[in-house]
Amino acid sequence: MAPPTTIAPVQERELWVVKEAAGAAGTIPATIGSPVPFTTFKPSDKPMWLDDDSFQGSMGDVYGEYQGPLIGGFDVGGHIVGDHGFAEAAYNLLGDYTATGAAGTGSTTLTAPLTAGATTATVAAITGFSSGQSVQIGITADGNPEIVTLSTAPSGNTLTFTNTPARFAHASGKTVAGVVAPFVHVFALLNGSTGAANGPGQGPTHCFTHFDNLAANGANQYAYSCFSELVITGNAEKLLDWTGKVTCASRATAATLVSTANVSGVQPYPSWRTVTGIAGIASGGTQVKNLAEHAITLSRAVKAYNTEQGSQQPYVIARGKQSNQGKLTFAPSIDDSALIAMLGNTQPQLQFVSSNGLGGANLVQVQVDIILAAYTVADENDGGELFGYDVTFKPIHTAATSGGISTTGASGGKAAVKITLTNAVPTY
């Protein structure tokens, strides 16, 4: 008998991600978005099974099996390459996002207020602006800078950015300027409705497309993806990595044939490039050099609400409270400062800066800031030739500023962890 030829090699799998439109969670976008280099993707569709366990005059237990509500989910992860995958996960879980870029061509001001969701802006002048250009609205001092991409050539006194609607409201007179790489993306905890995509405290949702060459048109799509966990792991002897856990709508097969072109021009980099600050920023007297490994786990309560709406799909997938945990491995330890910090409950500031070591438009950098890290365990480790310390800590939500750093985003409130990503991607 001839062997089958319609087989699906695991090694050829691919993954893409695209942000769903604001207010349209669960609606699969027309495009599959950007490729995501990954090392693991494990999807699972989970129908709720309903048993007919009624008494029917015999000794059996179940006389029918029916499907109730239907939900999906997946585990995903890989090396942090700095363009796609990790960035969308951070934005999805935390929800608050601002972006800035380096100075480019064109500079003007708004001559009319800009509302959230707008796709055009009225400006004083359009000189220096062009179609496809990245344009920053607002500056860091405004508290809500963002980057849009011009979809058509400027005309009269109008800039148009149909594919990247404004996420914030901006007052007349605010700065509008063309920008170039490197772009700086700041992800923080979303509070309230400022910059929200799907209601108060609700960030954006994403659709992931997984090519496995088994489904129709070669791929399955997982819409309404909501991250419940994001883990950043750095180990001096490994690449900088991330993993995530997602709740989503059950799988849908791709409507059209998915082409295979999963290529990222950005490379991962070793975690030894990380510099760490304890009780301050990662430079000067607060930089430490004996941290062998660190892990930061960002968690988000996610709940699917099922209703009697004539559909198995959830009525809404809601995000709840956001919590965090972390681990530090000092190996070797050069003092007992970790134990002293735990016993004294001093809750030091932490900063981790991981970079590819390049500059300008080629810079890729992940910076994680924590203002208050409450050490909960600081155990001496005698598993090697030199003593070390294994520390677990809990980031505390606060509106405080330390060392010129704040973890609070554009939406205000109190936040525990802020992620700053620098790369050549204009906006997410």
105-115 pLDDT per residue, tens:
999 999 999 99
Beta strands in 331-372 (DSSP E): 350-355, 365-370
**This prediction's pTM:** 0.96
> Is 1 part of any domain?
no
> Is 236 part of any domain?
yes
> Is 312 part of any domain?
yes
Average pLDDT over residues 309-317: 96
Mean pLDDT over each residue of the chain, to the nearest integer: 96
Q: Which of 183, 210, 237 is the last residue of a domain?
A: 183
Instruction: Give the amino acid at 208.
Output: F
The rounded distance, in Å, linking the Cα atoms of 125 and 374 is 51
Average pLDDT over residues 393-419: 97
The rounded distance, in Å, linking the Cα atoms of 367 and 172 is 33
In the chain, the number of structural domains is: 2
CB 146 within 8 A of CB 98: yes
Indicate whether 192 pLDDT > 70. Answer: yes
- In this prediction, residue 265 carries a pLDDT of 78
- In this prediction, residue 427 carries a pLDDT of 98
CB atoms within 10 A of CB 303: 13
> Is 55 part of any domain?
no
Tell me the pLDDT tens digit for each residue of 50-100: 999 999 999 999 999 999 999 999 999 999 999 999 999 999 999 999 999
Same domain for 140 and 239?
no
Same domain for 163 and 190?
no
> Is 52 part of any domain?
no
Q: Which of 143, 161, 183 is the last residue of a domain?
A: 183
Instruction: Give the amino acid at 86.
Output: F
Same domain for 154 and 259?
no
Indicate whether 35 pLDDT > 90. Answer: yes
Q: Which of 126, 153, 183 is the last residue of a domain?
A: 183
Q: Tell me the residue range of the domain where 131 lies.
A: 100-183
Same domain for 208 and 325?
yes
Average pLDDT over residues 247-261: 87
**231/258: higher pLDDT:** 231
